[in-house]
Amino acid sequence: MDTHSIDTQNMKKAIYDFSDHLVQTMEIGNAFTPKNMFNNIQNIVVAGMGGSAIGGDVCQALLSDELKVPIFVNRNYTLPNWVNEKTLVICSSYSGNTEETLSAYEDAKGKGAHLCGISTGGTLTENLTADNYDVIITTSGLQPRAALAFSVVPMLYLLKGQGLISDSIFEDMSKTIELLRIQRDYYAAENADNPTYTLAKSIYKTLPIIYGASATTSVAALRLKGQFCENADMLAYHNELPEMNHNEIVGWENNADLFKHISVLWLTDSNDNDRVKFRQEITKRIIEVKNKNQYIVSVEGSSERIRLLHMIHFGDWVSYWCAIFHGTDPSPVEPIMQLKAELS
């Protein structure tokens, strides 16, 4: 696999290795035995930020047809007031030192919630260990956004350990690994036969707006927005259908001189609601009057879960190739580091 000199930390390999990360994290998860069993869990909160929080969003989407209690992803210093002794709070911080997550951890303790966590080490691991809570320690050395598997899969095993989910998700995970090990070689190729490369070449000089569907691809749209921002240093935005039809569609009227600088990506899935599919067709036609720079993105997979993970992997590659077309190193996130330095 060829790498670029501007890719100083080899983000290409980190993306390419996603299926290998899934294997590694399943091995870590299979070795996990919970110390604590909690009864009568009525809701789940995932406390995290950035690349760690997105794992909660992905789990929520993957488990939407199975989990009997709601998952809420909390990106804040404090937790909602409804958190109590019937809440399972999963603190997820790849570094273990994310200040918002550490604050949420203390808030969860104060509210009497059940706690567990995922990290590579740091203060979060120290706190969880000292307080005798379960913690799954994962592999370090990656950018948090490139460690998605190390957030998602341990979370699934924590939920399984509490008897909240079955093994079916892990069967789909194994099938995803098989599929992505084939697809990644196409997506890593720098040529016109690679759909992630050609899409990136078409949109890298634009501001992408990504539209997903609320029940299927919205989390992939959220993920892709963040990847454009962090990997390619490009602003991007996302929304979902049908909600977008009740407000944002009207925004495609004024400031039409800006539209030539915008691209629209429609993330679609074969399991999208029929009415949502119809809404997408109509909305696309309405927007085409002002902007023809639109692209439909769909991927293969034998189940909705597999297609979701495939879509996320596809989008990660698009963001990587956008960085390469810009001549941008896809790994450093200097504004984030500056912000953290000033906060400290």
Specify whether 160 is catalytic.
no
Give the per-residue pLDDT at 191: 95
CATH code, 32-166: 3.40.50.10490
Among the options 100, 230, 240, 304, which is catalytic? 230
Residue 2 scores a pLDDT above 80: no
Q: Which CATH architecture has domain 191-326?
A: 3-Layer(aba) Sandwich (3.40)
How buried is residue 278: exposed, middle or buried, by Cβ count under 10 Å (0-12/13-18/19+)? exposed
pLDDT band at 344 (very low <50, low <70, confident <90, very high): confident
Phi-psi region for residue 268, left (φ > 0), alpha (ψ -120 to 50) or beta?
beta
The pLDDT of residue 5 is 86
CB atoms closer than 10 angstroms to residue 232? 24
Tell me which of 68, 246, 253, 334 is the catalytic residue.
246
Mean of pLDDT values over 5-31: 96
DSSP secondary structure letters along 83-146: --TTEEEEEEESSS--HHHHHHHHHHHHTT-EEEEEESSHHHHHHHHHTT-EEEE---SS-GGG
User: Confidence class of residue 84 from pLDDT cuts 50, 70 and 90?
Assistant: very high
Assess whether the region 32-166 and the region 191-326 belong to the same CATH fold: yes
Identify the band that residue 1 occupies on the pLDDT scale cut at 50, 70 and 90: low
Q: Determine the pLDDT at residue 254.
A: 95
Strand extents, DSSP E, the chain: 43-47, 71-74, 87-93, 114-119, 134-137, 207-213, 237-241, 262-267, 294-297
Per-residue pLDDT at 123:
98
254 to 245, 290, 294, 318: CA distances (angstroms)? 17, 10, 18, 29
Domain ranges of the chain: 32-166, 191-326
pLDDT band at 177; cut points 50, 70, 90:
very high
- Stronger pLDDT, 343 or 79, i.e. the higher one: 79
pLDDT value at residue 252: 96
| Band of pLDDT at residue 63, cut at 50, 70 and 90 | very high
Is 246 in the active site?
yes
pLDDT digits (tens, 9 = 90+) for 189-226: 999 999 999 999 999 999 999 999 998 999 999 999 99
Under DSSP, is residue 263 helix (H, G, I), strand (E, B) or coil?
A: strand
- Residue 299 clears pLDDT 90, i.e. is over it: yes
Q: What is the mean pLDDT of the chain?
A: 96
pLDDT of residue 340: 87
Integer Cα distance of 77 and 60 in angstroms? 21
Encoded tokens for 254: 């004024």
Q: Would residue 340 show up in a list of annotated catalytic residues for this protein?
A: yes
Contact (Cβ atoms closer than 8 angstroms) between residue 322 and residue 198:
no
> What pLDDT does residue 161 have?
95
Q: For the segment 307-336, what is each residue's pLDDT rounded down to a tens digit? A: 999 999 999 999 999 999 999 999 988 898
pLDDT of residue 121: 97
Q: What is the pLDDT of residue 152?
A: 97
Which of these is catalytic: 35, 205, 261, 340?
340
Quick one: what percent of the chain has pLDDT higher than 70? Answer: 99
Of 66, 260, 99, 92, the closest CA to residue 171 belongs to 66
